[in-house]
Structure 1
């Protein structure tokens, strides 16, 4: 699976975890050089979400990547994984 924004592969992995219709990629597959800081935080049944923004070829997509640094028991499968907003294309 690949996560693509603006024609650039953001993450690439043969295995993802699918929950609630979202593909969660292993965090190690995320190209960190394409991310930048975000202050955004939110919370749900899986734990506190922390967010990153994408910065690709001079274009910024705020709050585009989320992850759970300390997921709840319900979200345990999402530990060390990242997911993307709908503007990021997921393809196989």
Structure 2
């Protein structure tokens, strides 16, 4: 699977976990040179608190397009150490 934004591959892995229709990529597959800080947070009753990163590619900023759960609940432990992507990021096989 590949995650693509602004024509650039942001992450690529054959090892993704699908939860609620979102592919969670290993954090190590994320090309960090395209990420930037975000202090946006959201909560999910069964997964825990999501933290976000923004993308910055070719001069374009995509706010809060990457999310992850640094301390997911036990029920969502399979996504620990993984990242998923928001609208506008194409996830393709």
* TM bracket (short chain): over 0.9
The alignment status of 1:46 with 2:31, answered yes or no, reads: no
Aligned to 2:82: 81
> 2:92 & 2:42 partners in 1: Cα distance?
26
The alignment status of 1:20 with 2:15, answered yes or no, reads: no
> 2:2 & 2:15 partners in 1: Cα distance?
10
Count of aligned positions: 92
SS at match of 2:78: helix
- Runs of 4+ in structure 1 off by over 3 angstroms are none
> 2:88 & 2:76 partners in 1: Cα distance?
23
RMSD, aligned α-carbons: 0.5
> 1:43 & 1:78 partners in 2: Cα distance?
15
Q: TM-score, normalised by structure 2?
A: 0.97
Aligned to 1:36: 36
Which runs of 5 or more structure 2 residues have no equivalent in the other structure?
none
The alignment status of 1:67 with 2:68, answered yes or no, reads: yes
Which runs of 5 or more structure 1 residues have no equivalent in the other structure?
none
SS at match of 1:69: coil
Deviation at 1:58, TM superposition (A): 0.4
Q: TM-score, normalised by structure 1?
A: 0.98
